[in-house]
Amino acid sequence: MEMDNNLLTAMVERWRKETHTFHLLEGEMTITLKDVAMLTELPIDGDAIIESSQKPLNGWGQFISERLGINIPEEAEEGRRVPPLHKSMLLIPWLVRTVGELPEDATDAQIERYARIYLICLVGGFLFPNKSGGNMHCMWLRVLLGDWDEIGRKSWGSACLAMIYSELCKCTDPKTKQAGGPMFILQLWVWEHLPTFAPICPANSWGPDEPLRQWAYGARWIGAITSGTSLDGYRQHLDRLEFNEVTF
């Protein structure tokens, strides 16, 4: 799904951190836990994701080596200024390149390692990305390299919503130039509740046997191409937004 930065910027300008709502012409709106659950099908019940950011006793490098069997070099790759593990930040693309493809005759241990690395990519690069260019804080590894059942018992949807709120509040500072976190969920929310800003939905052309119908509700926007509206265009439309243009 293509990200519409102009649309997100226009919405950020109407966010108020005092109320955690968007202030629009016809009133206030906000993205809720129910929205996140419906759009992504991420679990919203279960344990809160609360992990320490402190380094393990033997450091993060040893922690990763023991659980993934990967030794992280202390030197930077060509073209980079810092090594793959630097100040508790792990470079996800390096991790993917190092592991390579899963062999056809993979053992159970290899399959489990690949599954954990997939989760690292999903969490660090998609659900909770930061603004550091492919790096993930190693605190997430305490969860993702732990017990499988414990991972499934976490309230991932709640964590996504909390990060969206946090990033939106940070963006109210004029000095902030970028936002991290799962902003794709916010974009899906805008398209669903303010459909005049939405592109043509790919799901409109799906046949009855389309497998994506079995996915989360937000999957119907996979492949959507944004309208190309300018930031000023979105601002002007929001300034004259009418009640009948909002879907509840």
- Cα–Cα separations (whole angstroms), residue 124 to 40, 179, 196, 235, 243: 16, 14, 32, 32, 38
What pLDDT does 130 receive?
86
What pLDDT does 53 receive?
83
Q: At CA 93, angle to CA 136 and CA 224, rounded to 5? A: 90
Mean pLDDT rounded to a whole number for the chain: 92
**pLDDT at residue 224 is higher than 90:** yes
Task: Name the least confident of 2-6, 130-134, 180-184, 237-241.
Answer: 130-134
Q: Where in 34-183 does DSSP place strands (E)?
A: 85-86, 89-91, 135-137
Instruction: Select from 172, 177, 175, 216 the least CA-distant residue to 18.
Output: 172
**Mean pLDDT calculated for residue range 37-45:** 95
Which tokens go with 130?
A: 């930061």
**Mean pLDDT calculated for residue range 8-37:** 95
Asked whether the CA dihedral 6, 11, 14, 19 is positive or negative, the reply is negative
**pLDDT at residue 133 is higher than 80:** no
